[in-house]
Amino acid sequence: MTSSQETIETNRLVLRRWQDGDADSLYEYARDPAVGPIAGWPSHQSVEESREIIGTVFAAPETYAVCLKDDGRAIGAIALKFGDDADLADADDEAELGYWLGRPFWGRGIMSEASEAILRHAFEDLDLARVWPGYYEGNNRSWRVQEKCGFRYQRTCEGVDVPLMGERRTEHVSCITRKEWEQLSS
């Protein structure tokens, strides 16, 4: 795997490393109870908490702020997770995909656009063999993003531990292989 790329551009978006100065923007969207809990993490309680997350969780490799080109503000996050940070991907050449977006921006195809760019990066730059996202039961909006990007349903896991929420949930897991992605992209 190559080292983390600094920025990825799409038609409307720049995916870039998180910066300390994104804390206000992160808090604005991550405080919304419609965003974190459905993805498995609690809503942020303060700008300070958001700043700490930027310095810890979001400092991991391949973890990007999703920004509109228009103003460069961080409005969401997308990440490829590896090793101990990934529940769904075991092998060195596989990653788990995670993402969320601020609610005012839902329904404009933004996360599909970001996910397609991350997949290209995963297969062309990082030379990965498979990328695995999941979603918890009922999060049909997230499944629709995965379906649009070419991920295929693999399995359903009952009673999955969601440690940050102190709950167990049903999780649906999907995957795309490099070959499937190449066929879709050709």
Out of 7, 45, 46, 140, the only residue in the binding site for ligand COA (CB under 6 A) is 140
Out of 21, 33, 55, 109, the only residue in the binding site for ligand COA (CB under 6 A) is 109
Judged by CB under 6 A, the stretch of 86-94, 107-115, 123-131, 172-180 that binds ligand COA is 107-115
156 sits near ligand COA (criterion: CB under 6 A): no
Out of 74, 142, 172, 181, the only residue in the binding site for ligand COA (CB under 6 A) is 142
Out of 43, 85, 87, 106, the only residue in the binding site for ligand COA (CB under 6 A) is 106
Characterize the bridge pairing of strands 13-17 and 7-9. Answer: antiparallel
Q: Which residues bind ligand COA (CB under 6 A)?
A: 35, 38-39, 99-101, 106-112, 135, 139-142, 144-145, 148
